[in-house]
Structure 1
Amino acid sequence: EARRMTEITTQEKKRIEHEVYLDIYPSTKLDQYNHQLVDLEHTITSNEEEIRFQNQYLQYLAAQEKLEIANERRKLAFENGKISAVPALEAYISPVKGTITQIYKEDYEVALESETVLSIHKPTNLYIKAFYDQKDLRYLKEGDVVDIRFPDGSTSMGVLQRFYFATYQLPDEFQKKYEPVTRSIVADILPINEVELEKWKAFYKLNVSISKPILGVT
């Protein structure tokens, strides 16, 4: 739906550009279309990330279900005195930390040493998408170091890398009920170093709190 709206908005923008050229509309008429296109691009990116995350989670659930079924079969075989006919399950430790994104073999298939059994995604370019009120921009600038608090209470530090100066609708989980829809300035925050990057990987896709001390402000 967002892609369809992007195509429609782009076509409409081209029409308005022509009419602006003919002095039918002022150039400011294009601003609303530019803002709409930025919002739609952000929506498309967020939807794609959410779909990818949900697919990974479904694959994880399927793998867990297969393991539970195999363990249940082994338990039944043991109770029936046929444990020798069922191969024991053995855990293999991955050489890298990451998230399983695709499994190429079923649990009943035999794999050669040279074959790929599964793919593991190792996140490297992690960043935090932060939402700020427009009034807070006077205290912020690109390059600022900010404090980060994770859901478990642990802390980290990040660098405010860039701002998106078009306003965005605040995500539903942060929007107060029965109040007008809040629009915010979005910023990307990157880990301050490799050590902090490793901390962030454990909290992929989770909400965090961002703060920055301001001297002379209470």
Structure 2
Amino acid sequence: MKSGQFNSKKSQIRGTREKEAPKSTNWDRVVYLSLLTIAIVALIYFVGKANLFVSGDGRIVTNQLEVRSPSDIRIQKIYVQPGDSVLKSDTLFQFTFLEWNQTIDSLDNLKKRILQYQDDLDKVQGDLRLKQKELDQARSELIYYQDRLEMVKREIRLGVASVSDLKSIEDRLVSLRTKVENSNEQASLIRQQRNRLQALIADPYANEGSEALKKVQTMKMIFSSPVEGVVTAVHKNDTELGLKSERVITILSENTNLKVQAIFDQEDGKHLNIGDKMNVSFDNGQKSSGIITDIYAAESVVDRPSSSSNNALKFSIQLIAELKPENAQELKTWKANNKMGVTVTKTVF
């Protein structure tokens, strides 16, 4: 067999190209870098905060007016509530002195009796109207039967009526006269009762025998606001006792000077100066600003740990900075947030 009969071709090596394997995520590296980033940011924050800012916590201090009991008193009625605005001379509360309480109680009992008198009078007036109506009806019947009696007497003479008819009318007249007489007496008694009740209502002190009761209305005293401002607290309730000098109402005067007292560490003192402007942040997130007016030391006592063999006390020095509002607008903000805690900060540079 000839070689030409074969269709020979060059040999070829066939195959497939291998694809590159996908890169896998190195989660350990990701977690490590994330934690490292967080740590670096936290370090920068705390280092920056410690070196670029001074910060202190504090509160607003106000010289609010405290309305106190002038003596041992009983509060009769409170006329204001926290948040109410008051003008000078507005009524704050009504009160009586405790030594008047017995008289006041007598007055209250008397008022209850007057109300009962009025109820009794209304009932008596109703009874009197009914009795008067009954009396008027009996009188009308009496007049009718008196006229009827004269007519029957004429009819007897004419032979039209009998003696028994006359007897019946005379008996009816006797009954009606008795009824009218009794009704008159009953109506008179009811009128007397009515007049007595009317007199008691008109002069309720007549039977009390006490001049103090006649003057009791003048014993109720009114306490008026000495200033214009806003009521921030009410410490007593209606009918409650108030001993001498106890707080009753607290008022934030329109002319009240507010200030912030903030506590700083001793080492922050080198960055604080009278006249410095400070950033003020209230606990509710509202921002403001103030000016340092005074700086002084405050000594605080701290107990040593109980595990220490030395029972002596450890003293630490802190600084208190007092601030005033930067302007009238800030003063308004401070007044609106006078019960909030504050944070005071300042940049070092």
TM-score for the superposition, normalised by structure 1: 0.43
Question: Highest relative contact order (Cα 8 Å, sep 6+), 1 or 2?
Answer: 2
Between Structure 1 and Structure 2, the one with more strand by share is 2
